Structure 1
Amino acid sequence: MMVEFDLSFVIVNWNTRDLLCQCIHAIHRNVVDQRYEIILVDNASSDGSVEAVRRQFPEVRCIVNRENRGFGAANNQAFAVMQGRYAVLINTDAELLEGAADRLHTFMETHPDAGMACGQLLNADGSRQNSFANFPTLLSLAVNESVLRMICPRRFPSKYQTYTQPIEVESCIGACMIVRKTAMDAAGVLDERYFFFMEETDWALSFKRAGWRSYFIPDARIYHYQGQSAGSGASSRIMFYRSRYQFIRKWHPRIYPIYHGIIGLRLLVGALLNLLATLFTAGMHKATRLRCIRYLKIVWWHVNGCP
């Protein structure tokens, strides 16, 4: 007989052993009112992540891949075997705070129209991160999103606004989000063409078109040590742009050439400005030099057809 859980925590890991163990500790410490399981999908780590989890947390269900399959495909492996009514996708660099899982679960139980929801992501110092996002459009590309959030706060909500009640949003940030299994069954699982970045945005649009809504729950709080599960170098930024292009090609194919051209122009301008700054400082300013190198690598990738 299959045991049904309230929550199935799904963690995708790639070489973040210490963060992974910290994440699991926080789940055990702070989830007390729901029956839950934890499913780890490891994408061919070489740092002893799986061995550490099996030693410290033998109850965790481990799926071990022989290659890095990416975020979407790895999560889908867990969805295929999960026994919970809700999946909680949580990054290894995220840490649940007391009551977060209970508040997310309670909201989903009392709002049957909700396909997914997210809480408030926090930096280590307690300051707020962006926890939700709008779908990419030509407007958000042409005009800085910070400006849009200032002049159209209802259309473009952000971390700079204080919310005391849940609000509907277009997309949740995937560092920690709860997803209804029945909504997943209706709208489909994650699109595996995305390797990393934008999967949750694509998913939220699929949910919306299937009649489900996404919400932000401000009193569900989660630490997010941003960037430590994805990195911040040129390869990470290339993955980011590749995913954005995939999203636009999929949902807005007519505007893709314009979108692609604007991104390319912005990258070229950024590369030239950073090259000038590097020359002006004779390459002595390390952060500027590294940023210039990163821009040049991304521009080279772009010029070569975004492979």
Structure 2
Amino acid sequence: MLNDRGKEVQDLREAMQPQVEGSAGDQQPGATLSVILVSFNTRELTLSCLGHLYSLELPSRTEVWLVDNGSQDNSAHHVREAFPNVSLICNEQNLGFSRAVNMALKRCSGRFALLLNTDCFPEPSAVAELLRVMESRPSVGIAAGSLLHSNGRPQNSFGRAPTLGTELLPKALLEVLLPSRFPSKRRPPSVPMEVESVVGAFLMVRRKAWEEVGLLDEGYFFFLEETDWCVRMRKGRWSVLHVPQARAVHLQGGSAAAQGAAARIEFYRSRYRFFRLHRGELAAATLKGGLILKGFCNLVFSGLMGVLPLPWTSKWRDRNRIHREILIWHLKGCPQGWGLERG
């Protein structure tokens, strides 16, 4: 028998466990594909994305998982009503993207998993194209598609893993002057191409690969978790592939997009973690010093532009506010309490 204190601890642990919903028939044993979405206060986007997903060319044995990170907009209820076949994992709080995805990866049964942002809408055959490439190339651990703006312009979908050069020098200039070393959307490939890193909004991963390399690093709350995964995949001798024929419109209108300075701070935090893990402490310290200097220059320049009587003055004032908050965060020692909202 548990004493009163032991019973309280057990009750607390049970309360912290995520709710998992979905019938055994929905969570298909031996599914070909498991589609995983994570939502946080993006109800309308999530519903639109799920509706679009079911209109695509998908394998007959496909299961869909949605991990809701403690949304306050009743997302889970609406998904439950509109899409009863979706397997829901409902967290009481925002646990971050990596941890949420890992919850689904641990429970899903697919030979492949598709990570799909709720603001990402693949073309009809895009998922099937990613799956075809993965099945025909057994050495590929991760394959990701080509992301587009709603007007068809290409977004950044792939590139080099971060280095001091890419983070401290003008990246656009590197891509123009050294396109073979710094591939980008400026010269998109016409056929599948091995790359160092891909953007995780529309990303397919092989079960065997993630079981060998490991799940997403939960030390990243948001941003660069997929970049870290790609680097670890390549170290584990798995290829990372960009598949231009698998196209998807990416609205970039998810929960982080509206967070302004908080999202930027979270991006800086993730960059520093990536450098400590993959480039070393000296490189991480050099990066931080360089970005603080760049941030100060950006603060001064945006402040000057914000006082000029020009049509875009308010835009520069907004930028100045963000640069100021980021610089203050650095000067305070990068405290953990700043950044995106956590549970």
TM-score normalised by the shorter chain: which range applies?
A: over 0.9
Counterparts of 1:151 and 1:286, CA distance in 2: 33
Match for 2:168 among 142, 145, 168? 142
Q: Within 5 Å, give how 1:189-208 maps onto structure 2.
A: 189-208=215-234
Aligned partner letter, 1:119: G
Segments of 4+ moved more than 6 angstroms: none
Q: Which runs of 5+ in 1 are unaligned?
A: none
Deviations 1:238-273 (A, max 9, x none): 001110001001111231111110011111110111
Residue of structure 1 equivalent to 2:236: 210
* 1:182 and 2:213 aligned: no
1:283 Cα shift? 11
Residue of structure 2 equivalent to 1:276: 304
Deviations 1:152-202 (A, max 9, x none): 212211111132210001011011100001100000000101000000000
Match for 1:288 among 295, 301, 316? 316
Deviations 1:126-155 (A, max 9, x none): 111111121111111232111111122122
Deviations 1:36-84 (A, max 9, x none): 1110000000111111110000000000001100000000000010110
Q: Does the Cα contact within 8 Å between 2:33 and 2:59 map onto a contact in 1?
A: no
Aligned partner letter, 2:285: P
Match for 1:164 among 190, 197, 209? 190
Match for 2:61 among 27, 35, 39? 35
Residue of structure 1 equivalent to 2:329: 301
1:25 Cα shift? 1.2
Match for 1:262 among 262, 285, 290? 290
Residue of structure 1 equivalent to 2:252: 226
Structure whose alpha-carbon radius of gyration is higher: 2
Aligned partner letter, 1:140: T
C-alpha RMSD over aligned residues: 1.6
Give the match's secondary structure for 2:72: coil
Q: Within 5 Å, give how 1:59-138 maps onto structure 2.
A: 59-138=85-164
Give the match's secondary structure for 2:34: strand
Q: Which runs of 5+ in 2 are unaligned?
A: 1-23, 336-343
Q: Does the Cα contact within 8 Å between 2:168 and 2:291 map onto a contact in 1?
A: no
Give the match's secondary structure for 1:46: coil
Report how many residues are paired: 307
Counterparts of 2:307 and 2:277, CA distance in 1: 40
Tell me the percent identity: 38
Match for 2:276 among 249, 265, 268? 249
Counterparts of 1:89 and 1:45, CA distance in 2: 19
Counterparts of 2:253 and 2:231, CA distance in 1: 24
Which segment is superposed worse, 112-121 or 228-237? 228-237
Taking structure 1 as reference, are residues 280 and 34 closer, same or farther at Cα in structure 2, changes over 3 Å only? same
Residue of structure 1 equivalent to 2:15: none
Q: Does the Cα contact within 8 Å between 1:23 and 1:96 map onto a contact in 2?
A: no
Give TM-score, length-normalised by structure 1. Answer: 0.96
Counterparts of 2:286 and 2:51, CA distance in 1: 46
Taking structure 1 as reference, are residues 34 and 146 closer, same or farther at Cα in structure 2, changes over 3 Å only? farther
